[in-house]
Structure 1
Amino acid sequence: MARAEASGAVGRCPVDISDPALTAGPYGGFARIREEAPVVRGRGADGRVVWIVTRHDEVMTVLTDPGFVNNSRSVPGTTADLHAESLIRFGLPEAVVPYLAEAVTQLDPPHHTRLRKLVARAFSARRVAELAPRVRELTGELVDALPGTAGADGSVDLIEHFAYPLPITIICELIGVPAEDRAMWRKWSSDYSSLFALGGMLAESSAYLRELAERRRAEPGDDLLTGLLQVHDEESGRLSETELVTMVITLMIAGHETTAHLIGNSVLALLTHPGQLALLRQDPELLPGAVQELLRWCSPVVFGKQRYATRDVEVGGTLIGAGDVVLPVLGAANHDPRRFPDPERLDITRRPDGRGVAHVAYSRGPHYCLGATLANQEAEVALSALFGRYPGMRLAVPEEALTWNPVPSTRQLARLPVRLGGGPAASA
């Protein structure tokens, strides 16, 4: 059993997660790493040494073992917030750092439990079911409007005109952002992925949310922001102003960014696998399972949040020391042949074994994606409506000409140009 060395910005690291080649081809790159060993030494984006975990069972351990936490301050004897320090090192102004460092995704129980409980009801299965008619209505409007968005060459960018507008509209309506303000959130979501623009995005969006909160106090609505304000105003001490703003920023970005790219990646996958698309057309009942397979095969989330070991923990034959940083690579786990037979094959008829849904695209454990049910619903409705309305849809450029956003943690298309067509599905 290998003994892990202490984390720090020293030593030789064979893997750099910021390597452009790894960002450009994460599935193949991490597959090679995965087959070398379940746990390897690497360097994170902030220069710190991390332990990169790539195999399914080992990733599950990191996600579910209480010996791993999301905040370095949860490690006994540690007072430093390493995530906040990294953000400042990247040049983020200290004034806006709390909006990321104190997000619910960066916290551990009991603070994480308290904050998550406040919003969980808005994303319950019952609430998502109530949203279904609106999701279908909006999807239909967007699908019908696509021909009018075509450029001079006749192509339509599905990312800009379909994949983004659907989830951002739904999350804005759920939270209570007025329609006239939603274009700002589309811009801010783009800025969120850029270190150069991130500080300005957080300053602008937090100021906007504080102003919107004042409006909601004067004119309450049937929305999540009003509900959070009532918790803040009526149960003093439970939700601070910063916690309120941080929660809404987190929900706004998480509530549409990944769903938009799940839709984009899924459309591309089906267009480039016409046999799978034909199966889906023949049997629409396959759609829920197809979305789960697409999440496994082409999720936009490549790796999860960094974890910190609170004690010495053995993972995959490596003894990781207390305080060490661990990075679970969800995309690699979802393509692990030890868990998924023939993992590189997209198979929408693939079904869970006796252990249930196996993919980790939504993470696992206490940080399982709060909006997973809503994301599943939006993806199912989007794919059904899009391929039903435009059976002859096809790529407008060769697949190899498509551009991916150069963000190490994600797999996101910059654009998805298609020709809507009108021919049979087989022409896709």
Structure 2
Amino acid sequence: MTESANNPFNEYVGKHPGEPNVLEPALITDPFTGYGELREQGPVVRGRFVDDTPVWFITRFDEARVVLRDHRFANNPAFAQETADGENPRSRLMDMMGLPERYRVYLDGSILTMDAPDHTRLRRLVSRAFTARKITDLRPRVEDIADDLLSRLPEHAEDGVVDLITHFAYPLPITVICELVGIPEADRPQWRAWSSQLASLGPDRLKNSFPAMIDYIHELIRERRAALTDDLLSELIRTHDDDGSRLSDVEMVTLVVTLVIAGHETTAHLITNGAAALLTHPDQLRLLKADSGLLPRAVHELMRWCGPVHLTQLRYATEDTELAGVRIAKGEAVMPILVSANHDPRHYADPARLDITRHPAGRAEDHVGFGHGMHYCLGASLARQEGEVAFGKLLAHYPAVSLAVEPEELRRIPLPGNWRLSELPIRLG
């Protein structure tokens, strides 16, 4: 585990026999097997979150989709539970991660932690930037960025080897989302550094990076308000200034932070995981090289087979309910396990097999890699497009691309709920 010696959550691992913690090594190093074993115990299995919160793991595809779309399971714990003293159930977690008190309103005010009607209101404000037409119109720019990055890969190679994460998988989506939102080019490396710090479980995970992001957006809003442009940040400023009841100051700031982080972190690792998968499955790579029309289907299968996000946020039952024969009491936490659902043999034939032809063209999405229901990933269409462009352009520029190490030498970042390579060394051919 990153910064494991100082990880404040380690004390909870193994504390409750029979109730696995998401920090269990078996669930981090091989989540496909680890969560797969839990899935075979049942569709609803008792476990623990990192801070020792009891949680029901939802392990199978059908039940995961039920929870993800069921309004009886809320993202905001205030709709379901409070401790005896009225404290937010997230407070202890924020304490353990070092988040200063005055910044907690921004974490609690995120669109990710909201439910209707506030979630609906905020999603409507930004969804115009992610319509099908907007994403289609954006594609030439995404392709230009990809072409530029790929053409410069040889400049970064040492002995013919280059890290695809550093020089392509990260720069592509962070450039796209920052241009869309309105983050100046000179500041984008800092956002990657902040995001990397968040991707840890160290004792000060939120102490420095999250407040720095919040302060930065406040300052950028002040600057941009004096010279509005056509980016998403300017649109949000206009909305806020026209009618503060539609978008508060805190909501505007957290929206921007959420969009920038979510808009590049997960896509970067979708590209990385997907490239590694294709390079270690030559039969699938040959199929894609022979028919670029398979790209949309390939991205769906890669999101299912090796998607970067394995766990959802905690959700809370707003009333006593029953799921798959298990009673879930009001206030109890549940967590759909995406990696387990996406490999459920009850839903997929031979789920461990990578098959880029698995998802029929034109059919509804048949995986939960981007979630499901009200909190379905807002930027899913952009992420899919970036994946299509990334894989298509990589193979067009370097048709002989190959891994520069043996597959077993690839190293993962040991972060619960995430599937991330620390680097992806490739030979361009």
Same fold by TM-score, threshold 0.5 exceeded?
yes
Q: What CA deviation, in whole Å up to 9, does each residue of 1:272-308 have, x standing for no partner?
A: 0000010111111111111101111000001111110
Measured against aligned partners, the alpha-carbon deviations of 1:138-181 in whole angstroms (never above 9, x if no partner) come to: 00001101011113x33100011000000000000001111111
Matches within 5 A, 1:342-421: 342-352=350-360, 356-421=364-429
Partner of 2:71: 66
Distance in 2 (CA, whole Å) between partners of 1:420 and 1:362 is 30
Pair 178,310 (structure 1): closer, same or farther in 2 beyond 3 Å: same
Deviations 1:306-349 (Å, cap 9, x if unpaired)? 11011122112211111110011011000000000000000011
Residue 178 of structure 2: aligned partner? 172
Letter in 1 for 2:80: V
Superposed, 1:205-354 pairs within 5 Å as 205-352=213-360
Q: CA deviation at 1:56?
A: 0.4
Distance 1:154 1:281 in 2: 22
- Partner Cα separation in structure 1 for residue 329 and residue 338 of structure 2: 22
Query: Quick check: 2:39–2:340 contact (8 Å CA) kept in 1?
Result: yes
Whether 2:167 is the aligned partner of 1:143: answer: no
Q: Which residue in 1 is equivalent to 2:56?
A: 51
**Contact 1:261 1:413 (C-alpha < 8 Å) held by counterparts:** yes
Q: Does residue 39 of structure 1 match 2:47?
A: no
* Structure 2 unmatched runs, 5+: 1-13
The amino acid of 2:168's aligned partner reads: F
- 2:114 is matched with 107
1:20: how far off?
2.1
The C-alpha deviation readout for 1:31-74, integer Å capped at 9, x for no partner, is: 11101111111111011111111100111111011111101101
CA shift for structure 1 position 11: 6.1
Compute the displacement of 1:77 (Å).
7.2
| Residue 357 of structure 1: how far off its partner (Å) | 2.1
- The structure 1 segments of at least 4 consecutive aligned residues displaced by more than 6 Å after TM superposition are none
Shift of 1:226: 0.4
Shift of 1:188: 1.0
Q: Is the 8 A contact 1:159 1:264 kept in 2?
A: yes
Residues 123 and 374 of structure 1 are in contact (CA less than 8 Å); yes or no, is this contact kept in structure 2? yes
Instruction: Answer whether contact 1:49 1:325 (CA < 8 A) is retained.
Output: yes
Equivalent residues of 1:157, 1:416 under 8 A apart: yes
**C-alpha distance in structure 1 between counterparts of 2:258 and 2:58, whole Å:** 26
State the TM-score, normalizing by the size of structure 2.
0.93
Which SS does the other structure have where 1:41 is aligned?
Answer: strand
In structure 2, the CA distance between the partners of 1:284 and 1:11, relative to structure 1 (3 Å rule), is closer
Structure 1 position 16, deviation (Å): 1.2
Q: Is the 8 A contact 1:42 1:50 kept in 2?
A: yes
> CA distance change for structure 1 residues 68 and 192 in 2, over 3 Å: closer, same or farther?
same
CA 1:23/1:77 → structure 2, altered by over 3 Å: closer, same or farther? closer
Shifted more, 76-85 versus 245-254: the winner is 76-85
Decide which moves more: 50-59 or 190-199: 190-199
Whether contact under 8 Å (1:104, 1:247) holds in the other structure is yes
Instruction: Tell me by how many angstroms 1:354 deviates.
Output: 11
Residue identity opposite 2:149 in structure 1:
L
Aligned CA distance change for structure 1 residues 259 and 354 (closer, same or farther; 3 Å): closer
**TM-score where L is the length of structure 1:** 0.93
Which of 19, 27, 35 is matched with 2:24 structurally? 19
CA deviations over 1:180-203 (Å, ceiling 9, x no partner): 111111111111213434321111
Q: Which stretches in structure 1 are left out of the alignment for 5+ residues?
A: 1-8, 422-428
SS of corresponding position for 1:126: helix
Query: Is residue 162–residue 427 contact of structure 2 (8 Å, CA) maintained in 1?
Result: yes
Q: Is this contact kept in 1: 2:82–2:88, CA < 8 A?
A: no
State whether residues 155 and 419 of structure 1, in contact with CA within 8 Å, keep that contact through their aligned partners in structure 2.
Answer: yes
* Contact preservation (8 Å) 1:71, 1:106: yes
Count matched residues: 412
- Cα distance change, pair 416–65 in 1 and its aligned pair in 2 (3 A): same
Is 2:178–2:260's contact at 8 Å kept on the other side of the alignment?
A: yes
Q: Is the 8 A contact 1:231 1:238 kept in 2?
A: yes
Partners of 2:78 and 2:419 in 1: CA distance? 30
**1:260 and 1:315, CA in 2 relative to 1: closer, same or farther beyond 3 A?**
same
Q: 2:399 corresponds to which letter in structure 1?
A: P
Structure 1 residues 283 and 10: alpha-carbon distance in aligned structure 2, compared to 1, 3 A threshold: closer
How do 1:125-140 residues align onto structure 2 when only pairs under 5 Å count? 125-140=132-147
Partner of 1:308, secondary structure, is strand
Distance 1:346 1:77 in 2: 43
Counterpart residue number, 2:11: none
Judge conservation of contact 2:297–2:361 (CA < 8 Å) in 1. Answer: no
Which digits, 9 at most, give the CA deviation of each residue in 1:3-41, with x for residues without a partner?
xxxxxx996543111112211111111111101111111
Corresponding residue SS for 1:199: coil
Aligned to 1:426: none
Q: Distance in 2 between matches of 1:328 and 1:175?
A: 30
The code of the aligned residue for 2:237 comes to L
Alpha-carbon deviation of 1:97?
A: 2.1
